[in-house]
Amino acid sequence: MRNDKRVKIAFYLALFCTLVMLFEDVGESMGVEWIETWDDMHIWEFFILGSLLIATIILGIEFKSMQKTRDSLEERLKAASGSFNLLLEAHYDSWGLTPSEREVTKLILKGCSNNEIAEIRSAATGTIKAQTHSIYTKSGLAGKNQLLGFLLEELTDGGSVAA
């Protein structure tokens, strides 16, 4: 059974319990005899407890399913993150970037400006400008936009985003 169907069933069972309790209370307050007779036999409680038990079981199954899905997504995210880092490192190696240039490149990819990178790295803005120029020269890319575009193409199956 699909997850959304299970949740709907649990919702309708809880709604049923609410309506039965409301019906029973209104009937009792109006003095309806058969409702009071059923109340003496605890039929209302059996309906409500049975329905709530089923709803709780359904929600427990759904909760377990959601945990499995979350765990699976976390594993996929770790794998994708690791693959992306391997891809970056392969490009850094092929471009011959120094450790400092690699760090600056990662900060560029995070969207940091030269001034922000200089502050993060406790370096002069001129130093960062020289490193970014070196990164673009070694990679054969004209600037931040081309760097981001190049890596985006790599993430989107290696094909051109224009194709």
Condensed to tens digits (0 to 9), the pLDDT of residues 91-121 reads 999 999 999 999 999 999 999 999 999 999 9
Nearest C-alpha neighbor of 127 from the set 138, 118, 116: 118
Q: Give 129-136 contacts, CB < 8 A, sequence gap 24+.
A: 131/100, 131/101, 131/104, 132/104, 132/108, 134/101, 135/95, 135/97, 135/101, 135/104, 135/105, 135/108
Whether this prediction's pTM lies above 0.85 is answered by no
Condensed to tens digits (0 to 9), the pLDDT of residues 37-63 reads 776 777 778 888 888 999 999 999 999
On whether the CB atoms of residues 22 and 15 are closer than 8 A, the answer is no
Residue 158: band (very low, low, confident or very high) from pLDDT cuts 50, 70, 90: low
Tokens of 66: 């959601």
